[in-house]
């Protein structure tokens, strides 16, 4: 699988379709690998005349992992990684499709690279992560009228986040299996 050296880290990516077609960059959510964009979905888009790219964020799949305590990074760094991937692939114009945190990354990219982005599509995304962050911290969100995140989900997510994969097989498979488990909890 191809690896791009972007911003001094390695980013795994995969493409579908013809490079001369209109580009779509698929941006997955937090802690999720690019392969969670179903291959069939990517192929359908390619068959409709798009050049489709999916990739692993830093700290997921086959991209570079960090000791966050020693090397913290921001969502802006993640947006710069995606921009760097487009640069690496020599993509001048692109549409963005972002899922969950991927939507926030897409918004940042579109602000930073206005002339390069022809459209963005946001799926299950928000520009306000405060309610989620308060829930993960176990704190009430008194401004928000939505119900609190279920404890079973919060417990599962904390276990998931506390055990990073140790080898390539775990990087590829374990995150996907955790994602399937998550779907059952929702």
CATH, domain 1-127, list 3.40.1160.10, 3.40.190.170, 3.40.50.1820, 3.10.20.30: 3.40.50.1820
pLDDT at 185: 46
Average confidence (pLDDT) over 72-84: 95
- DSSP state at residue 15: E
Cα(42)–Cα(33) distance, rounded to whole angstroms? 14
**Would you say residue 171 has pLDDT above 90?**
no
Q: Tokens in use for 90?
A: 């020599």
Q: Where are the alpha helices (DSSP H) in the chain?
A: 39-47, 75-88, 101-112, 130-136, 151-162, 168-185
- Does the pTM surpass 0.95? The reply is no
Name the segment(s) of the chain with CATH classification 3.40.50.1820: 1-127
**Would you say residue 176 has pLDDT above 60?**
no
Q: Tokens in use for 99?
A: 């899922």
Of 12-26, 88-102, 116-130, give the lowest mean pLDDT range. 116-130
pLDDT at 116: 96
């Amino acid at each position: 699988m191809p690896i791009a050296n972007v911003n001094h880290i390695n980013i795994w990516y995969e493409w579908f379709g013809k490079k001369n077609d209109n580009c779509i960059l698929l941006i997955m959510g937090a802690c999720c690998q690019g392969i969670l964009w179903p291959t069939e979905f990517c192929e359908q888009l390619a068959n409709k005349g798009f050049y489709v790219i999916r990739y692993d964020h830093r700290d997921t799949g086959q991209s570079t992992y960090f000791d966050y305590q020693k090397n913290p990074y921001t969502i802006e760094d993640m947006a710069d990684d995606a921009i760097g991937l487009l640069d690496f692939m020599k993509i001048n114009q692109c549409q963005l499709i972002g899922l969950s945190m991927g939507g926030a990354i897409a918004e940042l990219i579109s602000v930073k690279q206005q002339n390069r982005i022809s459209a963005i599509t946001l799926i299950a995304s928000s520009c306000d992560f405060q309610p989620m962050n308060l829930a993960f911290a176990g704190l009430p969100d008194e401004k928000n009228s939505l119900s609190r995140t279920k404890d079973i989900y919060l417990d599962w997510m904390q276990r998931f986040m506390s055990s990073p994969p140790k080898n390539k097989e775990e990087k590829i498979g374990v995150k996907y299996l955790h994602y399937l488990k998550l779907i059952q909890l929702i």
